[in-house]
Amino acid sequence: MPPRDEKIQVDQRKFEPGLATIPAQAYRKALKSGFRFNLMAIGEPSLGKTSTVNTIFKSEIYNEQFVSSTQRIANSDSLIVQEFDLKLKENGVPLILRVIDCPGYGAFIDNSNQVPTIVSYLDGRHRRQFDQEMDIDRDIEKNDDELVHCCLFFFSPNCRTVKELDLECLKAIHNKVNVIPIIAKADSLTLDERHDVSLFDEEKKEEPESKPVAMRRYTFGACEIENDEHSDMRILRHLMIQTHLVDLVNSTKNEKYGNFREHWLTKHPIKFPEKKPETTEELKKRLDKELKDEIMGHKEKLQRIQADMEAVFQKKLQERRMKIAEGERKLEEMQKAHREHMKDEENVIAIKRK
């Protein structure tokens, strides 16, 4: 609200209610609260998941603190699900990016427990979101979006068919998260092998002398990541971030999480206690009990007030008595001093008379 002495300037020539300003208000609110995007990456080691995520967001998502998945599973014997948040900002637009990595996927002899681990993690995200919504003291503005909005699923280019583990994982997670399939290192395939296949390549950065570009070098040449004839990375970035990021978030909330919520409430319905109609005698007893409880409550309240007033009175009385005693003590000291002074003067007069 402006100060009272400040006059609001209103253009009298405009009679529109101002509905056209609503998008600008929503834009300011969105910039103030920021955006969140939760991205999961699944694939075998050494397929370039780290480079892909770094290249899509043009940032060093994995740094010294968050090392690559190959190094993280060096001392592990099973799949682990790890997540971390990163704050990004471009032209004043803030984004909190949560990267969920699954180091160890398909890297061991026995991979039978890996798909249940991933499914359990996704269900846990859905359950945490559900618990936030059902919380009595929930704060929608402060609650974080716990859902996984998109999953980049990497296929190995060395196999001509989808592996059984990949197929099992896709069947288990496709109704829980939006999946984008990626053929890793697809530039190693021939043109016939890549025919009618949408390729999303992950590259590593190098800097030629002429112009810094992102590329992968081979003995027979180089593959540039920003060249649409070599790679579909720009198309992937355009579709996933520039045009469909909000759609991925909304579809996760409305479809994937909506299905989980419907299934959960169907399996665990909220039961309310059934109340039978009261008889006249039961109603009379209940009203009498409520009246007695109310009278007892008023009596206890009155007793507390009386006790408080008595305590205050006793405190003030004690303070008054202490002040009176202090005044009497000072008066007695003054009288004693006056008597001693008068005695001294009498002695002086007696001496003078002699």
- Spatial separation of the C-alpha atoms in residues 130 and 262, rounded to whole Å: 11
Buried/exposed code over 199-236 (b: 16+ C-beta within 10 A; e: otherwise): bbbbbeeeeeeeeeebbbeeeeeebbbeeeebbbbeeb
Instruction: Looking at the structure, tell me whether residues 223 and 335 fall in a common domain.
Output: no
Whether 253 maps to a domain, the answer reads yes
Instruction: Looking at the structure, tell me whether residues 261 and 319 fall in a common domain.
Output: no
Instruction: Looking at the structure, tell me whether residues 78 and 113 fall in a common domain.
Output: yes
Give the pLDDT confidence score for residue 134 in this predicted structure: 82
- Output the domain CATH number for residue 107: 3.40.50.300
Give me the chain's average pLDDT, please.
81
Instruction: Looking at the structure, tell me whether residues 124 and 249 fall in a common domain.
Output: yes
Instruction: Looking at the structure, tell me whether residues 220 and 321 fall in a common domain.
Output: no
The whole-number average pLDDT for the span 149-155 is 93
Where a domain ends, among 215, 232, 267? Answer: 267
Whether 294 maps to a domain, the answer reads yes
Instruction: Looking at the structure, tell me whether residues 61 and 177 fall in a common domain.
Output: yes
Whether 10 maps to a domain, the answer reads no
- The pTM of this model reads 0.63
Look up the domain containing 300 and give its range: 284-354
Instruction: Looking at the structure, tell me whether residues 71 and 212 fall in a common domain.
Output: yes
Give the pLDDT confidence score for residue 51 in this predicted structure: 82
Query: Is residue 301 over pLDDT 90?
Result: yes
Query: Is residue 196 over pLDDT 50?
Result: no
Instruction: Looking at the structure, tell me whether residues 211 and 76 fall in a common domain.
Output: yes
Whether 344 maps to a domain, the answer reads yes
pLDDT digits (tens, 9 = 90+) for 303-351: 999 999 999 999 999 999 999 999 999 999 999 999 888 988 888 888 8
Burial (CB count <10 Å: 0-12, 13-18, 19+), residue 156? middle
Instruction: Looking at the structure, tell me whether residues 296 and 333 fall in a common domain.
Output: yes
Whether 348 maps to a domain, the answer reads yes
Contact partners, residue 114, CB within 8 Å, separation at least 6: 78, 79, 102, 104, 105, 106, 165, 169
Whether 2 maps to a domain, the answer reads no
Where a domain ends, among 241, 267, 293? Answer: 267
Is the CA virtual torsion 60, 62, 67, 71 positive or negative? Answer: negative
Where a domain ends, among 267, 294, 311? Answer: 267
Give the pLDDT confidence score for residue 334 in this predicted structure: 92
Give the pLDDT confidence score for residue 85 in this predicted structure: 86
Instruction: Looking at the structure, tell me whether residues 103 and 177 fall in a common domain.
Output: yes
Report residue 100: phi and psi, to 5°: -110, 115
pLDDT digits (tens, 9 = 90+) for 66-110: 555 556 665 667 888 888 888 898 888 899 899 999 888 988 888
Give the pLDDT confidence score for residue 178 in this predicted structure: 94
Give the pLDDT confidence score for residue 249 in this predicted structure: 92
Query: Is residue 179 over pLDDT 70?
Result: yes
Instruction: Looking at the structure, tell me whether residues 292 and 169 fall in a common domain.
Output: no
Provide the domain count of the chain.
2
pLDDT digits (tens, 9 = 90+) for 257-279: 999 999 888 888 776 666 677 78
Tell me the sheet residues that pair with 145: none
Whether 5 maps to a domain, the answer reads no
Instruction: Looking at the structure, tell me whether residues 83 and 232 fall in a common domain.
Output: yes
Residue reference for tokens 């040449």: 221
Q: Cβ(185)–Cβ(47) under 8 Å?
A: yes
